[in-house]
Amino acid sequence: MEKEEARKKLLDDGYIVIRGGLSKNLATSVSKSLQETLEGLNTPQRRAFPFQGSMVPASLLHEPWPQLIANEEILGTLRQLGAHDLRWLSGYLISKPPRSPKLWWHQDWWAWNNGLSFADMPAQISVLMYPTGSTVESGCLRVIPGSHRRRHRLHDSLPPAHTEEINSLPYDHPAFETQDDEVSIPLDPCDFVVCDVRLLHSTHANTTAKERPGVVLWYLPNYKDLPPDFQLHYSQNQCQPSIEDRKSMSRLTDLLIPQSQMGQNSSISLERTPGATF
């Protein structure tokens, strides 16, 4: 796909699928590392997030995180899509257990009362990959194209994402329903998806007897263009390494949020639900 065509698809649909973007060696290495991480989790950690799966923050001191974050295929794709001061924000292992339910529909933007919410290029973009692959049966990603830029009927019924309220919804709530305009995105181990932070997305249930490991990496495509309060807010993210740890991360230096901003407070107000005029 040509550069301009790919950028237009991201801006119009809110996501783009990159087929075969990762090497087989990388997918195999990541899968092995993630399996070792999962085997080290205790039962409460495994059961804390029944819908999305394990939410293990990235540790930049341990593989596979540094090689994933700085992967040239991923970074090159993001730059082709329009990133010109690219910074890494956070990352998680989101492995979905066997026989686990659908994930609720949600979007991950948190500043809907700010004009930045209506920019063409989102303030945040995610990269999702599944190093053993994903299918409809194993709980692959599903999205609603265009829901990052126009109001959808789900916006009127969804509680804010990642809250106790949404985690306790009954299974017959609209947050779990199949939508006429949804698109399922099965992926091979070497594929990845780039998503706009505002895009409504979910997963299918994992109806198989096997775990479905996945990774999400969050990036800020145009960091220097963000308002100062947004830069300060992002600097507080738990996945950003300490000043001391940064000394051993030379290959990631240019991708991290500047350490000069760490420890400062932002006055930005949080609003996780889009307004009626969206």
Q: How does 179-194 read in b/e, with b if 16+ C-beta sit within 10 Å?
A: beebeebbbbbbbbbb
> Is the pLDDT reported for residue 266 higher than 80?
no
Q: Can you name the residues that pair with 128 across neighbouring β-strands?
A: 193, 216
In this structure, is the dihedral angle defined by the CA atoms of residues 29, 14, 252 and 54, taken in order, positive or negative?
negative
Q: In sequence order, what are the residues at sequence separation of 6 or more whose Cβ sits closer than 8 angstroms to the Cβ of residue 178?
A: none
pLDDT tens-digit profile of 123-180?
A: 999 999 999 999 999 999 999 999 999 999 999 999 888 788 888 888 889 999 999 9
Give residue 2's pLDDT. Answer: 80
pLDDT of residue 262: 64
| 111 bridge partner residues | 271
Whether 121 shows a pLDDT value over 70: the answer reads yes
Q: Give the pLDDT confidence of 94-112 residue by residue, as tens digits.
A: 989 899 999 999 999 999 9
**In the block, residue with structure tokens 């994903």:** 134
Tens of pLDDT, residue by residue over 34-90, are: 999 988 887 666 666 778 888 899 999 999 999 999 999 999 999 999 999 999 999
Give the chain's mean pLDDT: 92
| Predicted pLDDT of residue 190 | 98
State mean pLDDT over 180-201. Answer: 98
- Which comes out higher in pLDDT, residue 262 or 66? 66
